[in-house]
Amino acid sequence: MASSSSAAAALDELENFAYSSSSNGKRPAPPQEDEAPAAKRPAQPRREAAALLAEAEADLESSQVEVEQQIDANGMKRMVLSIEKRINENMQLRMKYADKPEKFMDSELELYQELKRLHAIATAPELYPTFVRTKCVPSLLSLLAHENADISIDVVDLLHEMTESEDAAPDDLLVLVDALLENGTAMLLMEHMGKLTDESEEEAAAIHNTLAIFEAFLEAKPEAAPELASKAGLLAWLLARLKVRAFHANKLYASELLSVLLQEQPENQLALGKAEGILPLLTAASHYKRKEPQDAEESELIENVFNCLCTALLQPANQLLFLKAEGIELMILTVKEGKYASRCALKVIDFALMTNGANCERFVDIRGFKTLFPLVGAAPAPQPKFAKGRGEREAAQQQHDEHVAGVLCTLMQQLGDERRLRLLGKFAEDEMAKLNRVLQLRAAYQARVEAAAAAAADAAVEELGDDEDDDDDAAAEGSISAARQLAGGHTLQLLDMCCGYLASSRQKALRQRVLTGLYEGGHSLHDVWEGIQECVANRDEAKLDAATKRSTAEMSAAVEALLAKYRPAADADAASSAAGDEGSAAAASDAAA
């Protein structure tokens, strides 16, 4: 038996529950000094409340036993009949005694207890199809609009436990998700979540659980993403949540869920633009222009917000909206600040310029070159103290170099004659210092990629031996290709594209410097041409615009013409042994002349 003090505390909790079910949901204020004390309640209701408390404790113990024991179909059906009965009783009493909460207090507590017992279904997900056939889903969902917040929030908890069950088979879970979606759960959850705030710990937890339910819907049924995003209003809610400046765990979850909604979902990407969602994302990004994240969770939020921008920019219509919202200007300012978000802003610039000549022109007109060229071969912004070790730093450096090379390559593809001349002029100034940095960066990546490929080849030989088998050869080639990509193979391809554009330009000095620079590093235009071919082969031609296709074709033809004259480094070395060092340098630049 519980002690008298614990029983009294439990009784107070029971009384609080009764007050929460009243029309205003507030506990009456204590009387003022000049007011007469409230009349004492009769002893009989108190005895009934005490008896009800004892009964609730007994029911709780029995429900705990039920949870520990695996329920079967018959037990679940009894639960469903009981919850249906409690829902109907409570609804009738609430309608009959709308202004007298004490009249329906008992039925409300019984309903709450039945809901708690129903959580046992989450431990037996194989019963989900049977549960759906009982037609209990609509009755449960009706409780999301219940005036008692404790009941509506517990319904959210129940749905969360059921959809998040780790033991649920995909088919069983899909049956439940289909039933929930068919009964309008998404709209009801959105309406319920609109009544909650993060100020209350209990309500904040309910918001988190609601977002988890939506995530479970998307995992079980990805094709429901457009319905959840637009029809249910989830997309608009997430965007509004991200605009709030203060950090909160639910804001982080909102950014994660928005990333899921946009990933590989062109319909949702377009819907974001139509809902004027680019501006809220830019607003969320601007909060970290000069601010560093305070912990790993806040840094994850930053990554998610900028990744959502990148995903949205895969749609040309959103690129135009990004331009009108002065997104290029914001990203350049963020890069200049050199904070944690600067590396993310560089990625957004890469996506924004891709296949969009208007954004490229704006980048040039606002003197973006002054921000871009110092980044070539430079380290990214320093990581915060809580960041991980060397592996993460190397990954950040590789991503930084990839996006810098991507922006340079895109500018060469997209800019018109006038602005392209300005770009080439930047490479020529200061005794071609910027071009030398590009060549140095390319040489570093070629050495890194070749070393990774050689190590992968040695590992394949050691593992597979000398047996000649087509499957083994294919596996070895696959491992070597993967090693090249992990070492920065795509970055090397982009740098090869840049060298191809510079070597095929009409400026003789740039062409000579590219060719001689490659030779001095032990490489040749043939190496660059191999990278260009790989880059072109790996692109999705269907997603390229006319300007990119045209400029790539013109550059490829010009490089092929140069290859007819230019000798590989090995041939040049053979010539140097006969003609001397001066002769080898001259041979390497024959094509440039």
Tell me: do 162 and 233 sit in the same domain: no
Residue 285 lies in a domain: yes
As a whole number, the mean pLDDT across the chain is: 84
- Of 375, 394, 415, the residue that ends a domain is 415
Q: What is the pLDDT of residue 122?
A: 93
d(CA 468, CA 362): 56
Q: What is the pLDDT of residue 569?
A: 52
- Find the angle CA(212)-CA(215)-CA(219) to the nearest 5 degrees: 140
Residue 280 lies in a domain: yes
User: Is residue 155 scored above 50 in pLDDT?
Assistant: yes
Q: What is the DSSP string of 89-101?
A: HHHHHHHHTTT-H
- Of 216, 246, 272, the residue that ends a domain is 216
Residue 445 lies in a domain: yes
Q: What is the pLDDT of residue 567?
A: 60
For the chain, the first-to-last Cα distance in angstroms comes to 100
Structure tokens that stand for 489 in this block:
């193979």
Q: What integer is the mean pLDDT of 520-531?
A: 92
Q: What is the pLDDT of residue 472?
A: 62
* Residue listed under structure tokens 């940095």: 437
More confident residue, 23 or 457: 457
User: Is residue 568 scored above 60 in pLDDT?
Assistant: no
Q: What is the pLDDT of residue 36?
A: 42
Q: What is the pLDDT of residue 48?
A: 52
User: Is residue 303 scored above 70 in pLDDT?
Assistant: yes
Q: What is the pLDDT of residue 102?
A: 77
Closest-CA residue to 304 (of 363, 366, 348):
348
Q: What is the pLDDT of residue 92?
A: 87
Encode pLDDT of 97-109 as tens digits.
Answer: 777 777 788 888 9
Q: What is the DSSP letter of 33?
A: T
Query: 96: burial class by Cβ within 10 Å (0-12, 13-18, 19+)?
Result: exposed
Structure tokens that stand for 21 in this block:
């079910």
Handedness of CA 358, 363, 367, 372 (dihedral sign): negative
Tell me: do 62 and 210 sit in the same domain: yes
Q: What is the pLDDT of residue 11?
A: 38
Q: What is the pLDDT of residue 7?
A: 40
**How many Cβ atoms are within 10 Å of 346's Cβ, its own excluded?**
26
Tell me: do 581 and 561 sit in the same domain: yes
Q: What is the pLDDT of residue 458?
A: 87
- Name the percent of the chain lying above pLDDT 90: 66
Residue 8 lies in a domain: no
d(CA 372, CA 350): 11
For residue 370, what are the domain limits? Answer: 221-415
Return contacts of 287-295, CB within 8 angstroms, 24+ apart: 287/245, 288/334, 288/339, 288/340, 288/341, 289/330, 289/333, 289/334, 289/337, 289/339, 289/341, 290/337, 290/339, 291/339, 291/341, 292/339, 292/340, 292/384, 293/340, 293/384, 294/247, 295/386
d(CA 369, CA 102): 73
Q: What is the pLDDT of residue 51?
A: 55
Q: What is the pLDDT of residue 427?
A: 95
Q: What integer is the mean pLDDT of 458-466?
A: 75
User: Is residue 579 scored above 50 in pLDDT?
Assistant: no
Q: What integer is the mean pLDDT of 537-541?
A: 88
Residue type, 120: A
Count of domains for the chain: 3
Give the SS3 label for residue 23: coil
Tell me: do 343 and 423 sit in the same domain: no
Q: What is the pLDDT of residue 218?
A: 96
Q: What is the pLDDT of residue 468?
A: 59
User: Is residue 540 scored above 80 in pLDDT?
Assistant: yes
- Alpha-helix runs per DSSP H in 128-248: 128-133, 137-142, 149-163, 170-182, 185-193, 201-220, 225-226, 234-243
Phi, psi of 276 (to 5 degrees): 55, 45
More confident residue, 112 or 44: 112
Tell me: do 130 and 110 sit in the same domain: yes
Structure tokens that stand for 273 in this block:
């633009």
d(CA 185, CA 228): 10
Tell me: do 364 and 483 sit in the same domain: no
Q: What is the pLDDT of residue 216?
A: 97
Residue 337 lies in a domain: yes
d(CA 531, CA 577): 29
Give the 3-state secondary structure of 252-300. Answer: HHHHHHHHHHHCCCHHHHHHHHHCCCHHHHHHHHHCCCCCCCCCHHHHH
Residue 3 lies in a domain: no
| Local confidence band at 266 (pLDDT 50, 70, 90 cut-offs) | very high
d(CA 575, CA 531): 25
Tell me: do 492 and 574 sit in the same domain: yes
Tell me: do 487 and 350 sit in the same domain: no
Q: What integer is the mean pLDDT of 252-272?
A: 96
- Of 399, 415, 431, the residue that ends a domain is 415
Handedness of CA 363, 364, 367, 368 (dihedral sign): positive
Encode pLDDT of 40-92 as tens digits.
Answer: 444 444 445 445 545 654 555 454 434 444 688 999 999 999 999 999 998 88
d(CA 135, CA 118): 14
d(CA 198, CA 207): 8
Q: What is the pLDDT of residue 478?
A: 84
User: Is residue 336 scored above 70 in pLDDT?
Assistant: yes
- Name the percent of the chain lying above pLDDT 70: 81
Residue 49 lies in a domain: no
Tell me: do 399 and 429 sit in the same domain: no
User: Is residue 539 scored above 60 in pLDDT?
Assistant: yes
Q: What is the pLDDT of residue 514?
A: 95
Q: What is the DSSP string of 463-514?
A: HHTT---HHHHHHHHHHHHHHHHHTTHHHHHHHHHHHHHHHTSS-HHHHHHH
Query: 104: burial class by Cβ within 10 Å (0-12, 13-18, 19+)?
Result: buried
Structure tokens that stand for 175 in this block:
């049956």
Q: What integer is the mean pLDDT of 443-461?
A: 91
Tell me: do 239 and 383 sit in the same domain: yes
- The CATH number assigned to the domain holding 237 equals 1.25.10.10
Closest-CA residue to 10 (of 46, 54, 48):
54
Residue 488 lies in a domain: yes
Tell me: do 311 and 344 sit in the same domain: yes
Q: What is the pLDDT of residue 584?
A: 43
Q: What is the pLDDT of residue 565?
A: 78
Q: What is the pLDDT of residue 325?
A: 96
Instruction: Provide the whole-model pTM.
Output: 0.82
The lowest-confidence range among 28-37, 129-138, 296-305 is 28-37
Tell me: do 409 and 420 sit in the same domain: no
| Local confidence band at 194 (pLDDT 50, 70, 90 cut-offs) | very high
Q: What is the pLDDT of residue 27?
A: 39
d(CA 298, CA 443): 36
